[in-house]
Structure 1
Amino acid sequence: MYAALNGEGKLVYASQVAGLGGQASWFCPRCHQPLKLRAGRRVRPHFVHTDGVCGQTKLSKRQVMESERHQAAKSLLGQTFQAQGECVNLEYYLPSSGQFADLYLPQRQWVAEYQQSVISAQLLANRQADYQALGQTVVWLLSADALRGKFKTRWKQTCLHYAPAWGYYWLALDVEGACLVQDYHLPLVYSRLSYTYQSRTLLLRSLSQQAWQADCLAYDAWLGPRTCHCREGQVASQVRSHLLAGHQSYWRQLYQEGIQVGDLPAWCLQGRYQVLVSPEPGWVWLAYETAFLKEVREANQGFTGQDWLIFHESLVKAGKLHLAPTPLLGEDGRANLLPEICQSFLRLWQWQGHLAFDQDWELYRVVSQELVGQTGRSD
């Protein structure tokens, strides 16, 4: 392990104390048993238990194992808020929750957590709830590397935020660039062939002249925005081989419900659509929607936006479609999630020429002949 408590109960790092002479006492932050410091020419400084065993295994290893970048991140945040005149505690132990906050401003009851390592959605939810129960405002910061990687990952789903002004967004700390990065107005439904979102940056050195804000998005020193145009992969020309590559279970699930995937409009498959917060690929959502629209067309009826939402809610409730855990969204973000997904799909079907909105009746109507006599249940 790379971190330990000293005799005063403060967290120190092996790399910081390895060159210091004299006798000192070190203790495990998890079990509070004595530790020994080991270091050498070919040995990275670290602490070990004197008896080789940790007496407490229930807490996360994150409390005692972290990278040099994590240390640099905390130092960078600490210097930033100290420059604003704030009282700053780094790696502050909150005994009522048993947690170490990366950065804690006691006068503000404000916590910042730089979450470089991937943890489960449940653990993140538990820690968020613990902080909130203590009356703390907590800001979770991703590593900027996560933003540069694949757009849709389980970890980024877990770290999704929401605010009315920014929509769904991610917030990250770029340690090397000494700045915060916010990617916002993220598309909940998008084609991997072409999608856009907004991004902006906040140089931390610019905050020394700014009054402290509990909401770091409210500072007026943010630079941007810039529009990010992205593309992942190519058009799926061989539809069947594309679907069979790891998606056989979805194919079988739909087939058992009488939905013939091969009868979907070509763009549903070739467009490589995704739902940002769903484990299912976008074409599975589109397959269920195609069946719904076919039934509406055959009945020569229209439908409301509420009908569309209720249909999707029934699919989620039945476990046919899923939404990933999003513990940081808050009540508004979670409440808006499925309705916004539904609206995005409505716009997509309209853009593809299959739907039109009847202003007189305030109904959506299927206007495409392509859906007639195709996908649906075979009773």
Structure 2
Amino acid sequence: MLTAQTMNGNLLNLADRQYRLDELIQLRRSTSYYCPGCREPVVMKLGEKRTWHFAHHGTHTCETQWERESNEHLTGKLQLYEWLKKDYSNVEVEYFLTKTNQRPDLFLPHSQTAIEYQCSTIEDKLLTKRTLSYESANIQVQWILSAKRLRRSYQSIYTMSSMDWAAASHHHRFPTIYYYCPVERKFATVLLHHSLTPTKFICSTLYTSALKTSYNPLFIKLPDWEEQLHSYSIWLKQKKIWRQNPHGERSYAFFYLRKRLYAGGHSIRFFPSEAGIPTDDNYWIETPAYLWQTWILLCYLPTIHLQSGFTFQSLFYAFAQVISSGLILPRYCPAHIDGVRAALQGYVKQLVRLKVLKKWDNERYEKLYQPTIHKQVEQCFHFDKLMHKKLI
């Protein structure tokens, strides 16, 4: 931690760098310091390898400190504090919030915003719990993750854990995750456009020097930039992977559909080409797109007669049923309870473009034809290309 209190309650903030090393050594000898959260004694660390900080004695566990701080975390927190001070004079470091019993890394009183710089890996449920705790006290929270967590797999494909997703901001058109590197003093703004698997996303990324930006342009208003994602070619490659190596999937949806198709003499590798296609908001569903879209095509649509109508609400209700059974997994976000609905609407929109469905009014649709299982892998690849050309 960068702050501690004396017995009289006076706060010493090492981030302000108001004392020289010899002065701090003298203060350490003459004054006792305590944690502002748990009130237990802390020791001032003034080493050469790590950022100057306070630490609890021994193995003491502080109820307001979630995990031990690495030097990366201390350095990044110090840099972010100095970065914010350029625009806001009243930035608080490790300000103790009595309403939530939490001490965010940084706090902006004027906007009631907590800023958390998270370097260590924690469970997504814990991160979400901390987010909900802030929001219950009417405090906004902005998560910034360590740049070491940003893992690019190929072109615009990034690997994201459930913790990364839990840290996403949902104030913009796409879920946005922020990363910071204290070595390069650089931010990475990552927009999630599509979900390929539970951990792989098609993203666009913008790197910005901390020296050339400030809080509002970075977090409140995204800058305008264009990045060619070539997402359709990425989807074709991903569909080939799904068809050639489906056994890498271990989800309930995979085993259910594989068993159901096998009973009819079909292989799940030959799923309809109208499934596994890019759609708006598909990142709200964790189950791979080719599986949940195949369920719609082969489990729901056959219950609708050709040239017969159905409502979007009936589809949504049926889809909600399989989610409640655990067959299909949604991605959780407290701020967006309608994420699954948006994902379904995005897929229905694509089915209309492919002329599988015809749209009437008031979210009513007519079934024009029934997508089918392919018989050969060459047939799969041929129709995959045809379907994607219709969507470009």
Q: Does 1:356 align with 2:360?
A: no
Contact 1:197 1:229 in 2 (8 A): no
Matches within 5 A, 1:1-379: 5=4, 7=6, 8-10=10-12, 21-22=25-26, 23=29, 24-27=31-34, 31-35=38-42, 52-54=58-60, 56=61, 58-62=63-67, 65-149=68-152, 150-163=158-171, 166-184=173-191, 186-190=192-196, 197-200=203-206, 203-207=209-213, 213=216, 216-218=219-221, 222=223, 224-229=225-230, 231=234, 234=237, 242-247=245-250, 249-254=252-257, 262=267, 264-265=270-271, 267=273, 275-296=282-303, 298=305, 301-327=308-334, 330=335, 333-335=336-338, 337-350=339-352, 353=354, 355-358=356-359, 363-368=365-370, 370=372
AA partner of residue 225 (structure 2): G
CA separation of 1:182 and 1:286: change in aligned 2, threshold 3 A: same
Question: SS of 1:162's equivalent?
Answer: coil
Instruction: Give CA-to-partner distance per residue, 1:192-211, whole Å, 9 cap, x none.
Output: 9x985544455443457xxx
Contact 2:235 2:277 in 1 (8 A): no
Instruction: Give CA-to-partner distance per residue, 1:35-72, whole Å, 9 cap, x none.
Output: 5568889999997766x442x4655442xx22233223
Contact 2:77 2:117 in 1 (8 A): yes
Give the Cα separation in 2 of the matches to 1:366 and 1:233.
25
Question: SS of 1:76's equivalent?
Answer: helix
CA RMSD of aligned residues (A): 4.6
User: Hey, which of these two has a bigger chunk of strand by percent?
Assistant: 1
CA separation of 1:174 and 1:354: change in aligned 2, threshold 3 A: farther
Question: SS of 1:94's equivalent?
Answer: coil
- Give the C-alpha shift of residue 112 in structure 1: 1.7
CA separation of 1:39 and 1:139: change in aligned 2, threshold 3 A: closer
Q: Corresponding residue for 1:377?
A: none
- Give the C-alpha shift of residue 159 in structure 1: 2.0
Single out whichever of 24-33 and 77-86 deviates more from structure 2.
24-33
Contact 1:179 1:202 in 2 (8 A): yes
AA partner of residue 333 (structure 2): T
Contact 2:275 2:297 in 1 (8 A): no
Tell me the TM-score normalized by structure 1: 0.71
CA separation of 1:247 and 1:180: change in aligned 2, threshold 3 A: same
Aligned length: 353
Contact 1:121 1:325 in 2 (8 A): no
Contact 2:301 2:370 in 1 (8 A): no
CA separation of 1:190 and 1:44: change in aligned 2, threshold 3 A: closer
Higher relative contact order (CA 8 A, sep 6+): 1
CA separation of 1:268 and 1:66: change in aligned 2, threshold 3 A: farther
AA partner of residue 82 (structure 1): K
Give the Cα separation in 1 of the matches to 2:85 and 2:51.
31
Question: SS of 1:112's equivalent?
Answer: strand
| Aligned residues with identical type, % of pairs | 16
Tell me the TM-score normalized by structure 2: 0.69
Single out whichever of 230-239 and 138-147 deviates more from structure 2.
230-239
- Give the C-alpha shift of residue 126 in structure 1: 3.0
- Give the C-alpha shift of residue 99 in structure 1: 1.4
Q: Corresponding residue for 2:378?
A: none
- Give the C-alpha shift of residue 342 in structure 1: 0.7
AA partner of residue 356 (structure 1): L
Give the Cα separation in 2 of the matches to 1:316 and 1:156.
22
Contact 2:38 2:63 in 1 (8 A): no
Instruction: Give CA-to-partner distance per residue, 1:238-296, whole Å, 9 cap, x none.
Output: 86872223527544333566775615535478879995344423332133112235514
AA partner of residue 310 (structure 1): Y
Question: SS of 1:161's equivalent?
Answer: coil
AA partner of residue 21 (structure 1): I
- Give the C-alpha shift of residue 358 in structure 1: 4.9
CA separation of 1:66 and 1:57: change in aligned 2, threshold 3 A: closer
Give the Cα separation in 1 of the matches to 2:45 and 2:88.
37
Give the Cα separation in 2 of the matches to 1:116 and 1:223.
28
Can you give the 5+ residue segments of structure 2 that lack an aligned partner in the other structure? Answer: 153-157, 375-392
CA separation of 1:108 and 1:255: change in aligned 2, threshold 3 A: closer
